[in-house]
Amino acid sequence: MSDIIHLGLIGDNIAKSQSPRLHRLAGRQNGRTVVYDSLVPREIGMDFDPLFAHVAQSGFRGVNVTYPYKERAAAKVEIEDPLVRAIGAVNTVIFGTTPPKGYNTDYSGFIAAYRLVRGAAAPGPTLMIGAGGVGKAVAFGLIALGATEIRIVDRDLPKAEALAEALTAAAPGLVTRTGTEAEALANGVTGLINCTPVGMVGYDGTPLAASAMVAAEWAFDAVYTPVDTQFLKDAEVAGLKIISGYELFFGQGVDAWRIFTGLPLDSKQLRADLQTPEE
């Protein structure tokens, strides 16, 4: 591996992403220069498919992939892990082989974020809003954490139903419910999860009315720009334990760095460096 490590992020609305800084700081710990490009298809004037093909041939070690391209990326890579194949979405791609290799660190990042706040406590019946790429990873993470009931909401009902089917194939005893309206499935749940872009910079709002949160115990938002989304603000006011999307971001980034480079990382120092304002 050369001293310069070329990485990137493919996604929409990523101007506020901290991924470039995370990987540059990780490189600095190892005396390596990381070139990390933000790759927004519409700004570059290319659709995802030709952009992915171009990047694969342009000297990149690998790329992260975010909304809304994780499922499309999964179709272009070799996925060795059967769990990630079941998820059907990848957020980390390594080039240098044909086809490239795909991984999902959202899954491990969510589990780490959950355990940081809830420890060994089971999730309880959980409402998850959004059945896209990150939603798939989080849902399989819920199974690993011991969930026995997952309610999946998506405006595209067949998408929610397909995810429910994949989950029950992986965990035959799992109870699933699906729908298109979050409030209709919120009654009686312990956990609330937002896996839509609603609430991030450029997508103002919240995917669930504050009045539907009062009986739950915990809430997680995959959005981390901003960290204090309206969804989490409402959950905190309702007395829920809050799991920040920043923790998923940090965990998936640490795991992605390991996959990209195999180089060591002082996670505590990285966290401190990320929280220090740039000069």
Close Cβ partners of 179 (under 8 Å, ≥ 6 residues apart): 151, 152, 153, 157, 160, 185
**How many angstroms separate the Cα of 131 from the Cα of each of 19, 180, 193?**
23, 11, 11
Query: Do residues 116 and 42 both lie within one domain?
Result: no
29, two tokens: 């710990």
Query: Do residues 149 and 98 both lie within one domain?
Result: no
**Residue 230 within a domain:** yes
Q: 157-162, long-range: CB within 8 Å, 24+ apart, which pairs?
A: 159/131, 159/132, 160/131, 162/131
Query: Do residues 9 and 121 both lie within one domain?
Result: no
**Residue 279 within a domain:** no
Query: Do residues 114 and 161 both lie within one domain?
Result: yes
Q: What is the DSSP letter of 97?
A: S
Handedness of CA 194, 199, 203, 208 (dihedral sign): positive
- Kind of pairing between the strands at 191-194 and 175-179: unpaired
Query: Do residues 62 and 167 both lie within one domain?
Result: no
Contact 146, 120 (CB under 8 A): no
Contact 60, 7 (CB under 8 A): yes
Instruction: Dump pLDDT digits (tens) for 101-155.
Output: 999 999 999 999 999 999 999 999 999 999 999 999 999 999 999 999 999 999 9
Query: Do residues 77 and 8 both lie within one domain?
Result: yes
Which pLDDT does position 216 carry in this prediction?
Answer: 98
Query: Do residues 173 and 82 both lie within one domain?
Result: no
Handedness of CA 80, 84, 89, 94 (dihedral sign): negative
- Residue 257 sits in a domain whose CATH number is 3.40.50.10860
Assign 218 to helix, strand or coil: strand
Domain enclosing residue 27, as ranges:
4-104+253-274
Which pLDDT does position 2 carry in this prediction?
Answer: 65
224, two tokens: 């981390």
Which amino acid is residue 52, in one-letter code? F
Query: Do residues 242 and 131 both lie within one domain?
Result: yes
Query: Do residues 51 and 128 both lie within one domain?
Result: no
Which pLDDT does position 277 carry in this prediction?
Answer: 86
**How many angstroms separate the Cα of 264 from the Cα of each of 1, 61, 244?**
14, 17, 25
Rounded (10°) angle between helices 105-118 and 133-144: 50
Instruction: Report yes or no on whether pTM surpasses 0.85.
Output: yes
Contact 27, 57 (CB under 8 A): no
Number of domains in the chain: 2
Host H or E run for residue 104 = none
**Any idea which residues carry the catalytic annotation?**
69
Query: Do residues 89 and 168 both lie within one domain?
Result: no
* Positions in the chain whose pLDDT score sits under 70: 1-2, 279
**Residue 265 within a domain:** yes
Cα torsion through 184, 237, 124, 167, rounded to 10: 60
Query: Do residues 154 and 59 both lie within one domain?
Result: no
Distance from chain centroid for Cα 88: 13
| CA angle (96, 97, 103) in 5-degree steps | 90
**How many angstroms separate the Cα of 113 from the Cα of each of 141, 185, 186, 248?**
11, 24, 22, 6
* Distance between CA atoms of residues 6 and 137, nearest Å: 26
Beta pairing partners, 5: 34
- Residue 124 sits in a domain whose CATH number is 3.40.50.720
